[in-house]
Amino acid sequence: MSNTTEKCLVLKQSEINALKKLIMYIKFSCKEAESLLYAGSPLINNIFDKLLEIDDFKAESKYFYKQENVTNEQFIRKKIQKDQDETLNKADEKLILELFKACLHPFSSSKDV
């Protein structure tokens, strides 16, 4: 089994919407610190980007996600802080910044964090 072999999948617009909502829930609503594993996953971020490309509302969605979202930024920061408070293995600032950016995807950051 190869990780580089692309597969085709046919989705209805309602299924695209459902998957996008699921990813957004994991990133910006789920309060469990363990969800950071998925919220910051490059694979899940790639899936989200591919969903945007086939979305009937592609242009509108891309415009929306290019915007800053301070509420989501604050949520991600709190979730990362909660994770750091609960773990014995503290991450350095560089790793925390990378995680923050990955979790915030597809939104832009309001500043250079």
Nearest to 36 by CA among 85, 1, 2, 3: 85
| pLDDT tens-place values along the chain, 113 residues long | 667 888 999 999 999 999 999 999 999 999 998 999 999 999 999 999 999 999 999 999 999 999 999 999 999 999 999 999 998 888 899 999 999 999 999 998 876 55
So what's the pLDDT on residue 87? 87
pLDDT, residue 111, reads 66
- Residue 98's pLDDT is 95
**Cα atoms found within 13 Å of the Cα of residue 3, Cβ hemisphere only:** 1
User: What's the pLDDT score for residue 1?
Assistant: 60
Q: Is the peptide bond before 106 cis (omega within 30 degrees of 0)?
A: yes
Per-residue pLDDT, 14: 98
SS3 category, 113: coil
**CB 76 within 8 Å of CB 29:** no
Which pLDDT value is given to residue 3? 77
